[in-house]
Amino acid sequence: MRFGKIRIEDGNLIFSKHMMLNSLPCKDIIWAYMRREGVEGGQQKQFTTSSLVLITKRRKRYQFDMADREIQECIQILKALNPDIATGFPKGGRIHLQSLPNTRDLGAIATSDGRHILPKRLIRSGALYHVSLADQDTLLENYHLTTVIDFRTEAEREQKPDTVMKGVKYYRSPVLDEETIGITCAGNLMDMLTGFDEIPDEFIRKQYETMVRDQICIKQYANFLDVILHQKKGAVLWHCNAGKDRAGVGTALLLYALGVPRKTIKEDFLKSNVYLDTEMQHMIRFLETKMIVDTDIMDKIRLLYKVKGEYLDTVFRTIEKDYRSVELFMKKALYMTPKTIEALRNKYLV
């Protein structure tokens, strides 16, 4: 079957390069996506070119210009020949699941040196409580999920245990203790909203400081990075309750280790506000049937469903205050030496 200047025969992709006929086994391709160059729209007609980009197990990159329809059809054939191929360019976007609003594939996020994170390998999420069967199929079959890291406390796990999925290994790594009810939403939400006189920004910021200052918290994040480093195959997913605070800090540390710019790290951190907005609106409507939702209650709800860029600034500012630099924090506190970081990047970047 021919697509542009390439053809697929007997499980191989055939193409010409430097006047030589080349054969690339489809089973050696790990990522296939469409790339567009140029600008569309505007007063003057602009021209765009589309190309199929293929990444192999040896991290070789191939690019073939062709029509959009040909690219889509070619990717479908490649996926049929090799179901393990990651397709598309998620760029840290949401995985559209029925029961998990804040689950994201970090794939395609760009690093400072121009590389990208491999899709379907690193997933951040909220709690895996009552995951629908369809969502389980998506995580197991499309993303090949094999490892879950739970940042929640024991009380949170007892209240909303993770759905156990066959073939998945679970790690318990509680980042904060049971007294941090304001940030974890543990216990009864109505009791918390009425019982606390206030849940100020300062309280939340203190929790972010704690996550990178308390030795127990730091140890859990070190374990988290170690599990990711030694992941053998398939995807690893980590989560807290809503997937925004403890998972957000863990993700920020991981992205930093992978060489992602701070601006991009913050953009990923703030995406929780978009993905959790519908959940927050549902909670507001539910609470309105149970109590008077005044301005004070609304402010508390927003703090429980939203994150602010300044929270992440607090994380990096605390690290730099205590360790002089994030690099020294990585090395001394998280045991991420330059050699270890290089191994991590070689494993997840292309």
For residue 192, tell me if it sits in a domain.
Answer: yes
The confidence score (pLDDT) of residue 112 equals: 98
For residue 245, tell me if it sits in a domain.
Answer: yes
The confidence score (pLDDT) of residue 40 equals: 56
The confidence score (pLDDT) of residue 302 equals: 78
The confidence score (pLDDT) of residue 264 equals: 98
Beta-carbon neighbour count of residue 348 at 10 Å? 23
Region 198-208: what's the mean pLDDT?
80
Q: Is residue 133 pLDDT above 60, yes or no? A: yes
Same domain, 61 and 121: no
Same domain, 34 and 116: no
Q: Which of 34-48, 104-118, 274-288 has the lowest mean pLDDT?
A: 34-48
In angstroms, the first-to-last Cα distance of the chain is 28
For residue 94, tell me if it sits in a domain.
Answer: no
Q: Is residue 226 pLDDT above 90, yes or no? A: yes
Q: How far apart are CA 198 and CA 195, in angstroms?
A: 9
Is the Cβ–Cβ distance between 283 and 315 less than 8 Å?
no
Q: How many residues are recorded in the chain? A: 350
Q: Is residue 277 pLDDT above 50, yes or no? A: yes
Please provide the average confidence, as pLDDT, over all residues in the chain: 91
Q: How far apart are CA 53 and CA 72, in angstroms?
A: 12
Same domain, 128 and 83: no
Q: Out of 87, 112, 147, pick the residue that ends a domain.
A: 87
Same domain, 265 and 151: yes
The confidence score (pLDDT) of residue 17 equals: 82
Is the Cβ–Cβ distance between 244 and 252 less than 8 Å?
no
Same domain, 194 and 61: no
Q: Out of 62, 87, 112, pick the residue that ends a domain.
A: 87
Region 75-84: what's the mean pLDDT?
94
The model's pLDDT over 140-168, given as tens digits with 9 standing for 90+, comes to: 999 999 999 999 999 999 999 999 999 99
Query: Is the model's pTM score more than 0.95?
Result: no
Q: Is residue 39 pLDDT above 80, yes or no? A: no
Same domain, 53 and 180: no
The model's pLDDT over 294-333, given as tens digits with 9 standing for 90+, comes to: 777 777 787 788 999 999 999 999 999 999 999 999 999 9
Same domain, 263 and 303: yes
Higher pLDDT, 343 or 1: 343
Same domain, 129 and 154: yes
Bridge-based pairing of strands 12-17 and 6-9 is: antiparallel
For residue 297, tell me if it sits in a domain.
Answer: yes
Same domain, 331 and 241: yes
CATH value at residue 170: 3.90.190.10
Q: How far apart are CA 204 and CA 208, in angstroms?
A: 7
Same domain, 226 and 273: yes
Q: What total number of domains does the chain contain?
A: 2
Same domain, 208 and 339: yes
The confidence score (pLDDT) of residue 186 equals: 46
Q: Out of 60, 87, 114, pick the residue that ends a domain.
A: 87
Residue 292 banded pLDDT, cuts 50, 70, 90: confident
For residue 99, tell me if it sits in a domain.
Answer: no
The confidence score (pLDDT) of residue 181 equals: 47
AA identity, residue 226: D
Residue 102 banded pLDDT, cuts 50, 70, 90: very high
For residue 175, tell me if it sits in a domain.
Answer: yes
CATH value at residue 7: 2.30.29.30
* Three-state SS letters, the chain: CEECCEEEECCEEEEEECCEEEEEEHHHEEEEEEEEEECCCCCCCCCEEEEEEEEECCCCEEEEECCHHHHHHHHHHHHHHCCCCEECCCCCCECCCCCCCCCEECCCCECCCCCEECCCCEEEECCCCCCCHHHHHHHHHHCCEEEEEECCCHHHHHHCCCCCCCCCEEEECCCCCCCCHHHHCCCCHHHHHHHCCCCCHHHHHHHHHHHCCCHHHHHHHHHHHHHHHCCCCCEEEEECCCCCCHHHHHHHHHHHHCCCCHHHHHHHHHHHHHHCHHHHHHHHHHHHCCCCCCHHHHHHHHHHHCCCHHHHHHHHHHHHHHHCCHHHHHHHCCCCCHHHHHHHHHHHEC
Same domain, 167 and 207: yes
For 151, the domain range is 104-348
Is the Cβ–Cβ distance between 123 and 165 less than 8 Å?
no
